[in-house]
Chain A
Amino acid sequence: MAAKDSPLKQFEIDPISNIELGGYDISFTNSSFAMLITVLVITLFLTLTVNTRSIIPSRMQLISELMYNFIAQLLSDTVGDNGKRYFPFVFSLFMFVLIGNMVGMIPYQFTFTSHIIVTFALAAVVFIGVTILGFINHGIKFFTFFYIPGVPFYMHPLLIPIEVISYLSRPISLSVRLFANMLAGHTLLKVFAGFVVSMPFFTGVFPLAFIVALTGLEILIAFLQAYVFAILTCLYINDAYHLH
């Protein structure tokens, strides 16, 4: 457990109400609350802004349409026509991670994407889904995914294990990338916030200015990581359709 003023204290989970189901503790926590806020923001925004369904969009409606087109474009660029079926999933994933990261940028608000269990669960869903998809599309031939054509035969004993390991490490790299980015960013912010308080006289403005700049960077990273999560999901889906 982190100490009282530790930069990691912000990642601690506090139950808001204790719930137990079938012997498991499923308390509604500050993490769950952040998820609730995220889901509410996404659903309300996407529903209310498009409520009028006007052909000439309002500014807010335009934002919704831009996000829709952004992911639709991403999916059609990477997967092609097959990708349309996975659009709702990839869009949900992107919005959930993006708004989750953004909600985390609000001071004193919890960042659920900074928890490895959450990001790993999302990555695992992608990984398992893509693997099942690969077997549905190619059957047993999906294993040829690990066989790289056009390579000298004596290289295969080396390359096939590498391919298998890189495939199996996908959920880990996907989840750790997002988790580590959020963890590092928020920790850094907290560390410099500590400097603002502890430095003598007016010198605290320097770390404060740094925090301001870093906040901008963190917002960029919040978007970038959501984008990376979405684009990697698209690429994995593409792999399930097109073997080497």
Chain B
Amino acid sequence: MPQLNPEFFVSQLFWLAVFFIFLFVFLWRVSLPRIATVLEKRQNKIDENLSSAKELQEQAMEIEKKINDQINKAKLETDEKIKETINALQEDVSSQLSSLDKDLEKKVSDAEKEILKSKDDQMKNINNEIINITKLTVGKITDIELSDNELNKVIETHKGNFN
């Protein structure tokens, strides 16, 4: 078995020491720090991105809160305005209604007065007509000339019967 032949033991140990020490020192001093730098750099970058993402998220939440606040505020304001408008309109309507009522009442009373007046006028006319007809009838039948005053007196005495 060549492994147990001590002929090359010293040579093997010597070259093993040379190469392994070289490898160890090279990795320790050159390669591993390089990889470590890269990994550290990446970790820093990731941490940085994470923290900035967190910050942005917080900002977004703040903005969302602001928006919600404003929406609520606007809602309240709108409700208030709607209420105010409704109240104003109701007042307006009721005042207009009352003024219309007054107008109507006035018109009704005016019309009543008019009707009464025209009734009086009509009654006077009727009186005149009665007088005329009576005069005519009496003149045709009898040749008696009745004066207006006499007729009026008669009419006045019988007025109750007309109505």
Q: Is A13 located at the chain interface by the 8 A CB criterion?
A: yes
Q: Which of B1-30 contact A (CB under 8 A)?
A: 1-5, 7-17, 19-20, 22-24, 26-28, 30
Number of interface residues of A (CB under 8 A): 51
Across the two chains, which residue of chain B brings its CB closest to A30?
Answer: B8
Instruction: Determine if B8 and A25 form an interchain contact, defined as CB atoms under 8 angstroms apart.
Output: yes
Q: Tell me the chain A residues, 7-22 only, with Cβ under 8 Å from chain B.
A: 8, 11-13, 15, 21
What secondary structure prevails in chain B residues at the interface with A? helix
Any chain A CB within 8 A of the CB of B102? no
Asked whether A29 lies within 8 Å of B12 as measured between CB atoms, the reply is yes
A114 contacts B by Cβ under 8 Å: yes
B27 in complex: contacting residue of A1, A43, A121, CB < 8 Å: A43
Number of residues of chain B lying within 8 A (CB) of chain A: 36
Bound CA–CA A238/B35 (angstroms): 25
Which A residues lie within 8 Å of B28 (CB)?
A: 88-89, 92
Q: Within A44-69, which residues are at the interface with B (CB < 8 Å)?
A: 46-47, 50, 53-55, 57, 61, 64-65, 68-69
| Residues in B whose Cβ lies below 8 Å from that of A68 | 32, 35-36, 39
Q: A32-B19, A50-B31, A117-B9 are in contact. List 16 more A-B contacts (CB 8 A).
A: A8-B2, A13-B5, A13-B12, A21-B14, A25-B10, A25-B11, A28-B11, A43-B26, A43-B31, A53-B38, A64-B31, A92-B23, A95-B23, A118-B16, A121-B16, A122-B20
